Amino acid sequence: MIVLVGLNHKTAPLDVRERLFAGCQEMTHLPGELLKIDGVSEALYLSTCNRVEIVAKVEEGSPALSSLKDYLVRLGALSGDDAEKCLYAREGEEAIRHLFRVAASLDSLVMGEAQILGQVKDAYRQSLAENATGVALNRLMHRAFRTAKRVRTETGIAANPVSVSFAAVELAGKIFGTLAGKKLLVIGAGEMAQLACTHLAGNGVEQITVANRSAPQAAALAEQFHGRAVGLDALDEALDDADIVISSTGSPSYVITQQMVARCLRRRKNRLLFLIDIAVPRDIDPACGGIENVFLYNIDDLQGIVDENIKNRKREAIKAEAIVTQEVVNYADWLRQLEAVPTIVSLRRKAEGIVGREMEKAGNWLGALDGGDREKVEALVNGIVNKILHGPVTAMKEESVETRSQDIVAAARQLFKLDD
């Protein structure tokens, strides 16, 4: 059975997501650790700024699902109240549907954003590297990628693509009225920082400064937008000159503190400063938002803009959901057939064993036959066995899909005494 447990931006506030995200970052071989949980045979985890989720194949009737929830509680040092309110668990087709919707960006903060599919692929690659996946999850993930591709090519869900960074740009436009002539400071040089530069440069920002711990990365990003690069040790000076600051680093502590912003406002004679923190954990001390003439927003604050953007995609989302439903059914049918395979294999092995023993008993008279006749007898016997087994094998495959029940598999094991 496929299960999924986790939390996301819809169920958990930012501080809870930060704690669980940090716990995941500390675990260097998390997929392998998940396999140690009783009943878990395959596993992977997805950890982003907006969600932490575990997908696993578990034994029916095992306590694995409850154990996986307990594991996340310990990993994120979650309180009982946090676990009750924030964690969700999905089983069977609901778990499959949830994963496919995540990969297709139907469950994202910004519906249709492209980054999540890459993050899902990275999660799968990590589990592959640790040999934590098998037949079921390998097929599941490739189906998830196929679903995401179909949604992006067969619907308009990704038309005029948006992202958290684009939502930040829209918010900046509402604050300033126009971005023409404004100066941008981007802290970090990753994908989110690059997207922010792209969107803002296209909206009239006059000057872009990139600050990053790695000077070569900062220089490479700044060069793309004819900007300048500085180190994090020059943040004080860079803040003095900026109108808009967007921060997206992987720093475990605040990159911009309340004291830095307060000093900056005095030097710039209280000129308006717009701060957007799209990092998890947060880069900017929340106390900065209490300073006069400073506007501070984090990921959760972007939800209003995101909701407005989503309105234009609802029609296409209906088509996307239909694709997801179709792909869920296809995978679930395949999985039910897969669950019948061990019984089919056992049945064939038992039949082959009976044939082998009976042929051995008939060895005396079979030995009198020449090689060609003996092969004909063996082919005849095997042909009869295959025809007898064809009906039960076909029934197990078809009934497990059509009736969505494993009763016929259990009956076959009992009738043919496969467990004796």
What is the per-residue pLDDT across 138-189, written as a single tens digit (0 to 9) for each?
A: 999 999 999 999 999 999 887 765 667 777 777 888 888 888 889 999 999 8
Question: Domain boundaries in the chain?
Answer: 2-160, 164-306
Pick the CATH number of 2-160 from 3.80.10.10, 3.30.460.30, 1.10.8.60, 3.30.1360.70: 3.30.460.30
User: What value, to the nearest 5°, has the Cα angle with vertex 95 and ends 90 and 100?
Assistant: 145
pLDDT at 276: 92
Measure the CA–CA gap between 79 and 15, rounded to whole angstroms.
12
CA dihedral 173, 177, 183, 185 (to 10 degrees): -30
CATH H-level, domain 164-306: superfamily: NAD(P)-binding Rossmann-like Domain (3.40.50.720)
Return d(Cα 52, Cα 12) in angstroms, integer: 10
Residue pLDDT, tens place only, 183-229? 999 999 888 788 888 888 888 888 999 999 988 999 999 999 999 99
Give the model's confidence band at 390: pLDDT under 50 very low, under 70 low, under 90 confident, else very high: confident
Q: How many whole angstroms separate alpha carbon 279 and alpha carbon 289?
A: 16
Active-site annotation, residues:
49
Higher pLDDT, 252 or 390: 252
352: confidence class by pLDDT, cuts 50, 70, 90: confident
281 preceded by a cis bond (ω within 30 of 0): yes
Helical ranges in 13-163 per DSSP H: 14-26, 30-34, 64-75, 80-86, 92-103, 115-129, 135-154
2-160 and 164-306 agree in CATH topology = no
259 band by pLDDT with thresholds 50, 70 and 90: very high
pLDDT at 359 over 80: no
Angle formed by the axes of helices 14-26 and 64-75, nearest 10°: 100
pTM over 0.75: no
What are the Cα distances from residue 263, in Å, to 40, 186, 230, 269? 54, 19, 19, 10
